[in-house]
Chain A
Amino acid sequence: MNPANYLYVSALLFTIGAIGVVVRRNAIVVFMCVELMLNACNLAFVTFARINGNLDGQVVAFFTMVVAACEVVVGLAIIVTIYRSRRSASVDDASLLKR
């Protein structure tokens, strides 16, 4: 087995996450799919760090985790705010800018 196999898993997970962002309607599930994409990127970073033999990739993955944590906090706060005013967590219902 070649370590590049991890990269293929990472590519698959990223693609599945991208489908989820487009297809799912519940804002929280869409958000979880974004998290899945971020995690897939982290796996790629860690694998590249191992293939290239330096730890820079791991440092970048670490920073990605911090940024993802920030993003989750703010994103979920936005979802809760939208839910409070519209009583719905569906991305279809938040279409005020369209009209």
Chain B
Amino acid sequence: MIHQALAMGHTQTPEAVLFWVLGPLAVLSALAMLMVKKAVHSAILLAWIMITLAIFYIAQDAAFLGIVQVVVYTGAVMMLFLFILMLVGVESSESLTETIKGLRPIAIVAALGFGGLLVSLIGHATIGRAYVGLVDANAGGNVQALAGLLFSKYVWAFEVVSALLITAALGAMVLAHNHRLIQRPTQRDLATARFRGTSLARAAGLPGPGVYALHNAVDVPALLPDGTPSQASISATLKARGDVIDSRPFQLSAIENEEE
């Protein structure tokens, strides 16, 4: 009897190994999440923590929650985070200097106090408490048992949560909808601007790039009749990226000199 109780109260060796490998890793990843500068790296570390937690759930007889954790958190939520990071700008790394003086030491001291309080409370709440385990509760299968609870005892909360989901979806749509401050220029406006603007030079459209026998590609500017390269012939995006090839070797005068 005592032996059985001991076996129940202590997790088996494989789980202990799992815990002592993944637990410290999760805590270290969380600490690294605070330290790293780039938001993308934080997101990847958070995804790893979430996968760790999913493994913990499965190890703790919560198979359904473990799968949902992978699907909802590491799948949907982290994907949404990365998507927004892409939208807002991956390079939007913040400066890690403090803006409020002394905020960091105060935060760390407060967090240490809070963490100590939590740990001691958990110690008080769990010491001397009989450990039951989920063998009986999960007898008919974890998913079946959860569904039984969800659709009987918690059915009202379940309905309210569905209303919350719909509200959130609506809210996101309302927030994502932006009003234009100025009216979008129509095709007619653009044509008028092209022909009645300051100069007629662009009326026929911009010149195309890359008209060389040597190098026929979009990253090479076209040559004007006088032999100089035209900066208007390359895409502004390529210029901003710095992917434009230097046009000097293609200037007509230079090539003619080589041939002589």
Contacts and interface: CB of A to CB of B under 8 A. Distances in A.
Contacts of A69: 72, 76-77, 165, 168
B118 A15 contact: yes
Contacts of B76: 69
Interface stretch (B31-39, B183-191, B209-217, B228-236): B31-39
Contact of B68 (A22, A28, A65, A71): A65
A6 B172 CA distance: 35
Question: Is the contact region of chain B dominated by helix, strand, or loop, or is it mixed?
Answer: helix
A63 B138 CA distance: 19
Contact residue range for chain B?
35 or more
Interface residues of A, number: 70
A58 B145 CA distance: 10
A80 to B, nearest CB: 6
A59 B134 CA distance: 14
A15 B34 CA distance: 12
Contact of A63 (B110, B122, B157): B157
Nearest to B83: A76
Contact of A92 (B88, B99, B108): B99
Nearest to B27: A12
Interface of B: 9-11, 15-16, 19-20, 23, 26-27, 30-31, 33-34, 39, 42-43, 46, 49-50, 53, 56-57, 60-62, 64-65, 68-69, 72-73, 76-77, 80-81, 84-85, 87-89, 92-95, 98-99, 103-104, 107-108, 110-112, 114-115, 118-119, 122-123, 126, 129, 131-134, 136-138, 142, 145-146, 149-150, 153-154, 157, 161, 164-165, 167-169, 171-172, 175-176, 178
